[in-house]
Structure 1
Amino acid sequence: MSEVQFKTHGELVRSRQPGHGMPGELFGRQDVFETDVDVFFHKHWILVGVTADVPEPGDVSTVDIGKASIIIVRDDDGNIRTYRNVCRHRGARLKEAGKSTVGMLVCPYHQWTYDLDGSLRHATHMGKDFDPTCRSLIPVHTRIVGTHIFVCLGENPPEDIGKLEETMAQRFAPYDLKNTKIAFEQEIIENGNWKLVMENNRECYHCQATHPELTASFLPEDFGFCPENLSEESLRALEEYKVRNAACQASWEQDGFASANVEWLDEDAVTQFRTQQLVIAGNGESQTISTKVASTRLFGNLQRRDLGDTHLWTHNSWTHVMSDHAVISYIIPLASDKTLVRSKWLVHADAVEGVDYNISDLTEVWVATNNQDKHLVEITHEGTQDPAYSPGMFSPFTETYVDQFSRWYAARLSAHGI
């Protein structure tokens, strides 16, 4: 009985056949998982929350990412700051994961006390030569884009976050996303590898059969399709789709809404992102079952309801912004076979539940879709760990972004010498 040859992480990545899925060991092995967290969640920019997580001075949101933990806090001047969740005395965690409100940040171990600007204000029994100015909390590299809080835990954060910031600041500006509140939150733990969660999000090959709530607001041509041997009826539908898209794009641009697709996804990208403004089907207003707005209190000072879906991808998040509400989701890997998916539904800060919106209409599409995706990720993860698994070929028409994600993943590992 011959021994199975052990392949390194890099060898596994390089063994992937072009246009095919990744080897199963890349989803299941502990050493691969640990390297992924270090490279893709500690050295890259990641989404960790929204400004509405900390709406008032003293509000705190603590987020754990692998062995690391960060504190997001709004200070007394209304600014958002982020720190490593490590006391500068003997390293105790200052806050548990989750949200709270504080006057100052007090270590539960020896009561070292920090101001919201990170400075150490109180430490007893340290002697006259102790210099508290050298013991401030460790800040984290942070960029706020619209309402999105991006952080990088690495010492040298990738500079191309500027491309995302420049592109999305302009697109988010009309929605005034900082003037929003969280109407609903959902946390799901999917029993699957984080890469499978992102692969599933990068394609809609599966959508028509598995997401009836979501597809109520999507035009079917946006799922991707094989252009070969289309029927006359399908060809007519395709032409109508092109005409409708062009008309909507022209109308949005005329009113000052940037709508052209922007992609920064290929192997030379570090901070990977993609944005587009999708036309919404039916009544054309929002991602709801009725395709009408779920909140009659629109974002900012918007007058138009039919602004489609401004969609943003990064390597750990996906965002949908409509005229009336936004759905923002991001992932945090917990284990090789467990991924936390956090989703937040935002509405205008002055919108009133039961008057301007109700939770059911607001959430029914993406609550259902997230639960359906949870099942799909889990059965796929199980299958990739089966001895019978052999990576299959991607559809060149509906899974091009999954293939691209695999190439980017390989390129980023190579850049780190893996």
Structure 2
Amino acid sequence: MSSSPIHLHGKPLNLADMLARRQQGYSLEAPFYTSREVFDADMEHIFGKHWIYVGVEPDVPEPGDYVTVQVGEKPILIVRDDDGEIRAFHNVCRHRGSRLCADERGAVGNLVCPYHQWTYNLQGQLLFAEHMGADFDPSKHRLGTVHLKNVAGLLFICLADEPPADFEELAATMTPYIAPHQVANTKIAKQIDIIEQGNWKLTMENNRECYHCTGNHPELTISLYAYSYGFAPTPETDEGVRRYDAMVAERHAKWESMGLPSAEVDRLDSMISGFRTQRMPLDKTGESQTLNTRRACNRLLANFEDGAIGGLSFWTQPNSWHHFMGDHIVTFMVMPLDQDRTLVRTKWLVHKDAVEGVDYQIDNMTAVWDATNAQDRRLVEESHLGVKSPAYRPGPYSPYTETLVEKFSNWYINRLSAYIK
């Protein structure tokens, strides 16, 4: 694919040249965040050819349950069939293109097009199409399938004809980490969607560092150890960092003995399907990301006897991050809407038998991330306004607190470069 003409403050640019001259350790040039042409390339090559996170198994708990997700101009339908298998289809009727399901979620027996009532079963086979004549062959008009992978309860789709094969490595590595939390045995206690007035890469970059946490996230940092953010080595910080590292090693040994994989795995920019994970200690009681660090749900997940098992963090390229604790799970999906707007979807999961008002109070459970999401939205939106200025120039990342931002940017540049020549 040849790159389309891009303009910055009236001057023409070339996307291939921009990719080639990207300076490692620095933020991206402004058009990567502001250009419609770059956004279109992102949707075609990043979100159109890589595995993207779209939801959780409890989104479709029973046969016939479905959810929809919009990926750029592509409406996607995810449904659990009568055999319990979760499938993904293009949410497009094979007759004249109407969306089959307009709602975000629901339950159906079959998939019936609202326009002319073409009817499909939950495996995508066309069952009924009236007035089509004796020569019409329903078998040639199945729904378009979308690749779907279920990683221990987290659902990923890929819109490419040939998805990246290394996702199997991600799944094999992550399943033992996630499986003890038994995502399939949870329910969605709350979902909140926010729209940030900023480019999706700014949203992801903001997530991949905690340089900004101390000054902006008072609620989140209650449960986080300061030395987990990354510190420049100085005589004042060396001893604190050593003590923190020793504590992490001790906790990891304990959790590993409990059957909870905990060691860091970082492949954010060394794989096409980039990811990272680590179980990290939580401060104070060590139970949960709440305002008092105590569990938000008295009904623990799975068979956990000890609620103080830290927080398992899992990051994926290009669009998600997740936190698994002993009592609940928080999962985040990022979906670009255009070059200036990004959907951030947060879900809180609890044990499927937990009772709201008895086992958990939803306001208590969501307080930390409600506040953090609002704070992050402001930061992203201010960054987006700044990068649109003629005064913006790519700035250097901290080699201590922004290493994961560099890995995100490096992954993004490498992946886009594979398609833009």
On whether the aligned pair clears a TM of 0.5, the verdict is yes
Partners of 1:149 and 1:97 in 2: CA distance: 19
- Contact 1:253–1:259 (CA under 8 A) maintained in structure 2: yes
After the TM superposition, which of the residue ranges 28-37 and 51-60 deviates more from structure 2?
Answer: 51-60
Matches within 5 A, 1:4-403: 5-228=11-234, 230-231=235-236, 234-266=237-269, 268-314=270-316, 315-403=318-406
Q: State the AA in 2 paired with 1:356.
A: D
Q: State the AA in 1 paired with 2:66.
A: V
Partners of 1:285 and 1:374 in 2: CA distance: 27
Partners of 1:242 and 1:136 in 2: CA distance: 55
Partners of 2:230 and 2:240 in 1: CA distance: 14
Partners of 1:130 and 1:85 in 2: CA distance: 22
Q: Residue deviations 1:52-94, cap 9 Å, x none? A: 1111211110111101111011112222111111111111111
Identity over aligned pairs, percent: 49
**Aligned alpha-carbon RMSD (Å):** 1.2
Q: What's the CA shift for 1:237?
A: 2.6
Partners of 2:225 and 2:103 in 1: CA distance: 39
| Residue of structure 1 equivalent to 2:6 | none
5+ residue gaps, structure 2: 1-8
Q: What's the CA shift for 1:249?
A: 0.6
Q: What's the CA shift for 1:227?
A: 0.5
Q: What's the CA shift for 1:97?
A: 4.7
Q: State the AA in 2 paired with 1:417.
A: I
Q: Residue deviations 1:321-372, cap 9 Å, x none? A: 0011000001110010100000100000001111111101211011111111
- Contact 2:34–2:388 (CA under 8 A) maintained in structure 1: yes
- Contact 1:294–1:324 (CA under 8 A) maintained in structure 2: yes
Q: TM-score, structure 2 length as denominator?
A: 0.96
Partners of 1:95 and 1:8 in 2: CA distance: 39
Partners of 1:125 and 1:242 in 2: CA distance: 70
Q: Residue deviations 1:83-138, cap 9 Å, x none? A: 11111111111111511111211111111011111111110001111111111111
Q: Residue deviations 1:284-343, cap 9 Å, x none? A: 111111111111111111112111111111120000000110000011100101000001
Partners of 2:213 and 2:292 in 1: CA distance: 18
After the TM superposition, which of the residue ranges 195-204 and 85-94 deviates more from structure 2?
Answer: 85-94
SS at match of 2:357: coil
- Contact 1:64–1:97 (CA under 8 A) maintained in structure 2: no
Partners of 1:8 and 1:66 in 2: CA distance: 23
Partners of 1:350 and 1:104 in 2: CA distance: 28
